[in-house]
Amino acid sequence: MTTPQESKLKELLFETKSIVKTHIENVRERGEDFNIFSILKMETDETKTHSGMIVALLDPKGNHYQNDTFLKLFLNVIGYDPDENLEFTKVKAEHNLGPIPKDYSEGGFIDILISFPSGKAIAIENKINAGDQPKQMYRYSLYKSGACTLYYLTMVAKHPEQFSLHTLTDKDYDVLLYDNHILKWLEQCIQVVKPGSIIENALKQYLILIKKITNTMDKHLEDNLKSLILNNLEEAKYISSHYQKAVESIKERFRSAVWEELNKINIKAHLGKDTSNNYSSIWIDSAVLNGKGASIGIESFSGKGHHNGRLFVGILDRNAIYDKLAEGDVRLSNYWPVIREIKTLENNNLHLSSSNILERLNTDSGYFEDMVKEVVRQVMEFVEVYGDANI
């Protein structure tokens, strides 16, 4: 028998589904799904798409030919008063601070660096799906010996992990949000450019992308959803607290199935960290690699972590012994000298933060089984190339 609370939960989900359906219909009617970033599979590429686009717009010397207009609007939105001439401000992506030693005390790459003529600077750590790194925010705070204001840009309202902050406190940085600061900034940029221009179209394309990845709706629909939640706070609280658990259960079931399938074909594999961890993994034994201190791993089943959360198989090599790449494979970092992206059945990048993929894995048993076998097939191709590599 259905309890009154269960009935309210079902009613809340039904009404929420109706609002989401209207949102999807509106998006399709406006043609917003035909977005250049989505078509090119660049929606969550932290470096090339988001840092790259933001830097291109902020650069006063950029070929948008708006001089420092976009930069001024951005600084105003984030509440930063430069109190200086912005004409000669330099903006750079992936500013190299040098190598990272074993104690993580220095080095790395600042995602977005804004350097003012006065010598002051802004360092922005840009997080889409990647997890925090040891002492990451702390290392960036050392730049210019404290004359650098630190920001943490993310899709959800969260703070850096303590292992990233090290000795820093919440007073040493500010949090920026894509669905707040970046959306407001883009809307203001659109207002000052020539209507119908290519730059206006590019801004709108990027704004649509931000709305998509942050699940932002039209204001009246968001107001309806907020009202629905406020009128059902107790039920909404239960849905919110169980959402992540439900999502992780799909990912963990998929990870376990891949592990079981590998062992069925006599591949010695063992489970690494589970999907509650950013770097959720499976590790595969290789006598040659293991003997050299390297390992073959599959990461990350969390949909977060390295490589913007895209699933890959690669060699983890902390001793820097491996330096060969087969055609089509890429170098991810010093510790991951070779990786190969794992693809879906449709030959897209497999990303376990995708709601569409997770829903299909959960509701379509045939798709689930086919994807497990496809992942194992691609992993085996990688193992055949590198498992007995002469290193």
Cα 378 to the chain's mean position, in Å?
23
Structure tokens at 353: 């933060």
Q: Are residues 182 and 263 in the same domain?
A: no
Q: Which pLDDT score, from 0 to 100, does residue 388 have? A: 64
Q: Stretch 181-190: mean pLDDT, rounded?
A: 96
Of 199, 216, 233, which closes a domain?
216
The stretch 180-200 carries a mean pLDDT of 95
Same domain for 178 and 272, yes or no, is: no
Shared-domain flag, residues 81 and 199:
yes
Number of domains comprising the chain: 2
Confidence class for position 286, pLDDT limits 50, 70, 90? confident
CATH of the domain at 186: 3.40.1350
Written in H, E and C, the secondary structure of 36-83 is HHHHCCCCCCHHHHHHHHHHHHHCCCCCCCCCCHHHHHHHHHCCCCCC
Q: Which amino acid type is present at position 59?
A: D
Query: If you average pLDDT over residues 335-355, what whole number do you get?
Result: 88
8-state DSSP, 330: B
* Euclidean distance between CA atoms 8 and 217, whole angstroms: 24
Q: Are residues 191 and 46 in the same domain?
A: yes
Q: Is 128:50 a contact under the CB 8 Å cutoff?
A: yes
**Between residues 288 and 217, the one the model is more confident about:** 217
Nearest to 74 by CA among 143, 140, 138, 151: 151
Least confident range from 51-55, 57-61, 149-153, 216-220: namely: 216-220
Q: Is residue 236 part of a domain?
A: no
**100 domain residue, yes or no:** yes
Q: Considering the domain boundaries, does residue 13 fall inside one?
A: no
Residues 210 and 262 in one domain: no
What is the per-residue pLDDT for 340? 93
Q: For residue 193, what are the contacts with CB-CB under 8 A and spacing of at least 6?
A: 66, 199, 200, 203
| Cα gap 287→101, rounded to integer Å | 28
295 pLDDT band, cuts 50/70/90, is confident
Nearest to 310 by CA among 48, 40, 49, 129: 129
β-pair type (121-127, 338-341): unpaired
Tell me the average pLDDT of the chain.
Answer: 88
In this prediction, residue 288 carries a pLDDT of: 67
The whole-number pLDDT of residue 281 equals 95
Share of the chain above pLDDT 70, in %: 96
Looking at the DSSP bridge assignments, the partners of residue 351 are 310
Q: What token pair was written down for 172?
A: 């040493």
When pLDDT is averaged across residues 344-364 and rounded to a whole number, the result is: 88
Q: What is the pLDDT of residue 312?
A: 95
Q: What is the mean pLDDT of residues 144-156?
A: 88
Residue 391 pLDDT: 43
238 inside domain = no
Same domain, yes or no: 269 and 191? no
What is residue 384's predicted lDDT score, i.e. its pLDDT? 87
pLDDT of residue 216 exceeding 90: no
Which residue segment(s) compose the domain that 292 sits in? 246-386
Whole-number pLDDT of residue 316? 87
pTM of the full predicted structure? 0.74
The pLDDT, as a whole number, for residue 322 is: 66
What is the predicted pLDDT for the residue at 235? 82
Tell me, yes or no, whether 330 lies in a domain: yes
